[in-house]
Amino acid sequence: MDLRHRAVYVSGRISDRIGKRRPVLVVLLLIGGCGTLLAVFVSPWVGLGALCLAAVGFKPASPVFWTIPQSYLDARAAAPGIALINSIGNLGGFVAPTAFGIIEDTTGSTKGGLVGLTVVGFLAALSVLLVRGGGRNDRVRVRTSKGAAAPAPEEAPGVARSVRPGTGAA
């Protein structure tokens, strides 16, 4: 199993364990953006490692991302919403290589395209941060011990509860 697959596995486990997808997605997008930005400024051999770092950030971002729309959209709107997201993503499959090629032709180097990819990664992280509210499934999960936990007492132990006369409440 290579590093990308381990990153997908680990990021999925982390997002499942803490129950918050957006912070994990933001961190992954920032790692990917930093990897592509680093590849611009270093030697080609170190740049190869930086692109591997970018892959470790960008590849696991996709499975974490696809859990988010389902938690925000109603069951009736989930299929059309996910189809719209997928359609925009398919447009990105055409626009990104075309823009990369135009930038490479204009500048005469692939560095401009990598900077463009970095900007898009950072903008994606920013847009995930700016999404308001939490989805239905976007919550902190608390791990319980193996034994059943007793409910928390309403009052401190050893303190008698007072009863108002006439209420009959104990």
Spatial separation of the C-alpha atoms in residues 166 and 96, rounded to whole Å: 74
Q: pLDDT value at position 46?
A: 95
Spatial separation of the C-alpha atoms in residues 105 and 64, rounded to whole Å: 34
Token pair listed for 66:
């696809």
Q: pLDDT value at position 133?
A: 67
Q: pLDDT value at position 136?
A: 60
- State which amino acid sits at residue 27: V
**Terminal alpha carbon distance of the chain:** 61
| pLDDT < 70 regions, the chain | 133-170
By the 8 A CB rule, do 33 and 125 touch?
yes
> pLDDT tens digit string along 130-166?
987 666 655 544 455 555 555 555 554 554 555 555 5
- State which amino acid sits at residue 101: G
Q: pLDDT value at position 121?
A: 93
Spatial separation of the C-alpha atoms in residues 78 and 71, rounded to whole Å: 9
- State which amino acid sits at residue 71: S
- State which amino acid sits at residue 141: R
Q: pLDDT value at position 140?
A: 46
Q: pLDDT value at position 168?
A: 53
Q: pLDDT value at position 142?
A: 46
Contacts of 110 (CB under 8 A, 6+ apart): 100, 104
